[in-house]
Chains A and B, each alone.
Chain A
Amino acid sequence: MKFFRRLSALIRKEFLQLARDNSSILIGAVLPIVLILIMGYGISLDVKNVPVAVVLEDFSPAAHDSMNFLDGSKYFSTKYVTSMAEAKILMRERKVEAILRVPPTFSSDFQRGEAKLQLILYGADSATATSVQNYVEGSIRQINSGKIAIESRIWFNDANSSTFYFIPGLIMLILTIVGVFLTALVMAREWERGTLEAIFVTPVRLIEILLAKIIPYFVVAMFGFILCLIAAKFLYKLPIHGSLTIILLSSVIYLFVSLGIGLVISAATKSQFLSAQISLIVSFMPALMLTGFIFDLRSVPNFISTIGHALPPTYYLELLKTLFLAGNNWTMIAENCSILVLYAIFFIGLALKITKKRVD
């Protein structure tokens, strides 16, 4: 009874501060909205309207016709030029991403079945170059109609849009930012400003002080989470194939993990500057780079994959992607959720252990 009374007093205080401190609002609400919009509209690995120069050194109509696959495609916008020199200038100036060279003897060679095309890619942007290459190869494969035909289907991402796979990552990032960065910062502020000293000498228990930080920032993060969910569903039409309940449940678990990390960082440093730096270095950057958010952990070297699999966000991200795009895969849900629960227990336990009602 007294426990709840004290806890609710501390939580009320935290919410009042939240409401009056624009930095919490910035990180808890403004940043998620900005990120949702940028991720949804701005960030895309999908090839669309890529400018390609076509060097027609063969002026025959047949040669021109055989380039139809480019003209009709939504992936490319073609620019016809007559000389290689011209095309190279365009590429140097980055006005085109690739050059497709149709040699002078193309149509006659084609008749004999031994035509050649040359594709020059702007390799510095390797992602776009790879996509262009794959697409051009695929088109030529169709013209060739060789011995084998490939029928390709992509599952779990019917629109084949990278937005679909960025949004789960975004949700993971926002829970990480609010849970670790914001929580570490506000807790370190209490240490730095000396507000804890007087609070300590009251009947308040340590667990109440920590819970009073966990609960409000849990709510803030959930707010960001719900915003993302709404945007995902209605703005970007992201399908939710799996169970919404499990999505919520796993997010709650992951949030406890990141809140725990935030509290551990602040208790260990007791300084806002170090808390911010460390949470950036140990939680945010790895969450961006090493969890499969941008780069698939299946294609990285083993030691990176091992590091990635030591990070809690990796498991959460895998869960989210599967639940949104694939559906309920109970084995994985059980496995990843248990790993996250263990992490949550570990970090919150550690926070309880290293935070002391002491001012030394």
Chain B
Amino acid sequence: MIISAKNLTKTFKNVVALDNFNFEMNYGTLTALIGPDGAGKTTFMRLISGLTAPTSGNLTVLGLEVCGNEQKIQNKISYMPQRFGLYEDLTISENMTLYADLHGVKTEIRRERFAKLLEMTGLERFTARLAGKLSGGMKQKLGLACTLVRSPELLLLDEPTVGVDPLSRRELWEIIKKLVADENLSVLVSTAYMDEAEMCEKVFVVNHGKILMSGSPNDIKSVAKGRCFRVKTPENFPTRILQSILLDDKNFVVDSVPEGNFVRFIGQKNFDAEQYSVKIKLPIEKIPARLEDGFMILLHDDEKNNLERVFNLKKLYLDEKYPISDEIVIVVKNLVRKFGDFTAVDKTNFEVRRGEVFGLLGPNGAGKTTTFRMLCGLLPMTDGFLSVAGVNLRTARTQARENIGYVAQKFSLYGNLTVEENLNFFGGAYGLSGTNLRERIDELLTEFHLRGSENQNSGDLPGGYKQRLSMAAALLHKPQILFLDEPTSGIDPLARRDFWRQITDLSAKGTTIIITTHFMEEAEYCDRMMIQDHGKILALGTPQEIRRQFGNENSTMNEIFISIVENSRGGG
């Protein structure tokens, strides 16, 4: 046993991060920890690496009791924290050399090792570049390279792929898998991605500091055995709406997600497919369970008593029409943005219609953040034409801003102001005051399930609350267009369902949504999406169109994305 925890408990002030945790991991295995944000994954990693002391219980790592042997363990293991603190004003090779020196890697071995790591990470051409100038994916790869300057007895990876695009994610995992095979490494990795957990031999599902289940990916899948189905969306009916209708039907359905022209869902216990098929007047097809299905069932069971409900939703019906308006609210023509010699966005053209959910996707550093910032009026364009909500952004930026809402990455709100103070401030900024403002805040507090937390400082709220508060703040003035920059990263899967349910509702009420995300399966919720790389549009259309154009009907969005970007890079 390389790691063994018995009744391990860790509390911070009043919060229990780990609660009687019992965990075992064998030598030479690849083990995953999956669970929502705040489940205790990071705390566990830090306990293993001796960076924090347990409140009670036993923890042995590499045969050593961690308490009192911190340094001995730190000599033998390698740890990649979630926020790997690269020295941003050091170059790639300087960062790697620092870690090699600290680990005492011999010069002879070092040359070979560096060459191998640089080749695997694809960083060999950039060794002289400052770490601060790298894209998010490259930074994570460099962090991994620094962690792996020598072959450790135990490798800990804490969400190594958070904020990383699918392409870089796949590359990172190829490196990990190769090293496990070549060097017989023992690896413990925590992740929010199910496809990553699927590659591990053993998976621990964690929630609220407790282990809900452990076993092979197949063991976890088997939890959902026989309960997974899919239903084809009727012609001219948005998949997203059908998915929401199923999701709302809590008596029968545990969870549902859009997938191409189908909606995938998990039935409640004793779910009768035939009966349900009659109820919704659509044929239902049984499908094999995935890891995520098992995971969702485990989480739902654990959260039964405190499931967050979504309020004030417009009820959706299968026999209603949900056509997309013809009115065009965003026009982008020959949009160009240059930073010095570097062209970040190159002659980009697209249009977005009222009520559409439009996804901006692309690898890290592809120019989507630049495009996004120009659309919100945060960055002036170099050339081209841009109109948002019928207002030309070159001439009337202030006016355009009255019609948009903006949810920033990481939900930037004033952390030391309470929920109510934040809403009052943004309300005033959007010109609301007095009774109007009070009523609107009242509505939003209910709608976003923030009641009861009005007087809490927004900085102290958990991730999901912060996200809902950001949404509420951005929607105070009922904007025509809502911009969301990676609104789902760091949010647990249940909250993500609620989030998308709310988006569906907004769009059904006529709000246009522009969104960026790194979860490719979330692109399925979009009416249309755009994939960018090197500042150019590679693909534009509905998820289904893009699927048809670049792969086959059965590919996942992740595979499609990777093949589009790889084709373009290979061809260019």
Direct touching of A and B (C-beta under 8 Å): yes
Give me the interface of A with B, judged by CB distance under 8 Å. Answer: 2, 5-6, 8-10, 12-13, 16-17, 20-21, 190, 193-205, 357-360
Total number of residue pairs linking A and B with CB closer than 8 Å = 93
Tell whether B99 is near chain A: CB-to-CB under 8 Å: yes
Q: Which residues of A contact B99 (CB under 8 A)?
A: 198, 202
Whether A9 contacts B86 in the complex (CB less than 8 A), given A198-B79, A202-B74, A357-B51, comes out as no
Give the contacts of B86-105 with A (CB-CB under 8 A).
86-90, 94, 97-99, 101-104
Q: Which residues of B contact A190 (CB under 8 A)?
A: 85
Pair A203/B74 contact, Cβ less than 8 Å? yes
Chain A residue at minimum C-beta to C-beta distance from B48: A201
Whether A16 contacts B89 in the complex (CB less than 8 A), given A9-B101, A201-B78, comes out as yes
Binary CB contact string for chain B from 42 to 53 against chain A (1 if under 8 A, 0 otherwise): 000010011111
Pair B75/A195 contact, Cβ less than 8 Å? no
Q: Which residues of A contact B78 (CB under 8 A)?
A: 201-202
Pair A198/B87 contact, Cβ less than 8 Å? no
Pair B86/A195 contact, Cβ less than 8 Å? yes
Pair A194/B102 contact, Cβ less than 8 Å? no
Whether A204 contacts B102 in the complex (CB less than 8 A), given A16-B90, A198-B80, comes out as yes
Chain A residue at minimum C-beta to C-beta distance from B143: A198
Pair B74/A201 contact, Cβ less than 8 Å? yes
Interface size counted on chain B using CB atoms at 8 A: 37
Pair A197/B74 contact, Cβ less than 8 Å? no
A354–B468 CA distance with the chains assembled, in angstroms: 39
Determine how close the nearest CB of chain B comes to the CB of A115; give it in whole angstroms.
Answer: 72
Determine how close the nearest CB of chain B comes to the CB of A25; give it in whole angstroms.
Answer: 12
Chain B residue at minimum C-beta to C-beta distance from A190: B85
Q: Which residues of B contact A12 (CB under 8 A)?
A: 98, 101
Show 21 A/B contacts (Cβ-Cβ < 8 Å), sorted by A. Answer: A2-B104, A6-B101, A6-B102, A9-B98, A10-B98, A12-B101, A13-B90, A16-B89, A17-B90, A20-B89, A194-B83, A198-B84, A199-B85, A199-B102, A200-B49, A201-B49, A201-B51, A202-B99, A357-B70, A358-B51, A358-B52
Chain A residue at minimum C-beta to C-beta distance from B78: A201
Tell whether B418 is near chain A: CB-to-CB under 8 Å: no
Q: Which residues of A contact B75 (CB under 8 A)?
A: 202-203
Give me the interface of B with A, judged by CB distance under 8 Å. Answer: 12, 46, 49-53, 70-71, 74-75, 77-81, 83-90, 94, 97-99, 101-104, 130, 143, 146-147, 156
Q: Which residues of A contact B49 (CB under 8 A)?
A: 200-201
Pair B79/A201 contact, Cβ less than 8 Å? yes
Determine how close the nearest CB of chain A comes to the CB of B42; give it in whole angstroms.
Answer: 10
A348–B70 CA distance with the chains assembled, in angstroms: 23
Candidates A6, A201, A357, A358; contact of B77 at CB < 8 Å: A201
A359–B42 CA distance with the chains assembled, in angstroms: 11
Candidates B51, B74, B89; contact of A17 at CB < 8 Å: B89
A285–B146 CA distance with the chains assembled, in angstroms: 42
Pair B79/A13 contact, Cβ less than 8 Å? no
Pair B87/A194 contact, Cβ less than 8 Å? no
A286–B552 CA distance with the chains assembled, in angstroms: 73
Pair A360/B74 contact, Cβ less than 8 Å? no
Chain A residue at minimum C-beta to C-beta distance from B102: A202
Pair B94/A360 contact, Cβ less than 8 Å? no
Chain A residue at minimum C-beta to C-beta distance from B90: A16
Q: Which residues of B contact A193 (CB under 8 A)?
A: 85, 88
Pair B103/A359 contact, Cβ less than 8 Å? no
Determine how close the nearest CB of chain B comes to the CB of A204; give it in whole angstroms.
Answer: 5
Q: Which residues of B contact A6 (CB under 8 A)?
A: 101-102, 104
Most-contacted residue by chain B among A2, A200, A205 (CB, 10 A): A200
Chain B residue at minimum C-beta to C-beta distance from A2: B104
Determine how close the nearest CB of chain A comes to the CB of B57; give it in whole angstroms.
Answer: 17
Whether A360 contacts B52 in the complex (CB less than 8 A), given A10-B102, A198-B84, A199-B102, comes out as yes
Q: Which residues of A contact B89 (CB under 8 A)?
A: 16-17, 20-21
Q: Which residues of A contact B70 (CB under 8 A)?
A: 357
A190–B86 CA distance with the chains assembled, in angstroms: 10
Determine how close the nearest CB of chain A comes to the CB of B325; give it in whole angstroms.
Answer: 46
Whether A5 contacts B74 in the complex (CB less than 8 A), given A195-B85, A198-B146, comes out as no
Pair A203/B81 contact, Cβ less than 8 Å? no
Whether A203 contacts B102 in the complex (CB less than 8 A), given A194-B81, A359-B52, A360-B52, comes out as yes
Determine how close the nearest CB of chain A comes to the CB of B103; give it in whole angstroms.
Answer: 6
Most-contacted residue by chain A among B75, B89, B147 (CB, 10 A): B89
Chain A residue at minimum C-beta to C-beta distance from B79: A201
A357–B49 CA distance with the chains assembled, in angstroms: 10
18 more A-B contacts (CB under 8 A) besides A201-B156, A205-B71, A359-B52? A6-B102, A9-B97, A10-B98, A13-B87, A13-B90, A13-B94, A16-B94, A21-B89, A190-B85, A194-B83, A198-B85, A198-B143, A200-B51, A201-B77, A201-B79, A203-B75, A203-B102, A357-B71
Whether A196 contacts B103 in the complex (CB less than 8 A), given A201-B49, A359-B46, comes out as no
Q: Which residues of B contact A195 (CB under 8 A)?
A: 85-87
Q: Which residues of A contact B46 (CB under 8 A)?
A: 359
Chain B residue at minimum C-beta to C-beta distance from A202: B102
Q: Which residues of B contact A202 (CB under 8 A)?
A: 74-75, 78, 99, 102-103
Whether A203 contacts B103 in the complex (CB less than 8 A), given A16-B94, A360-B52, comes out as yes
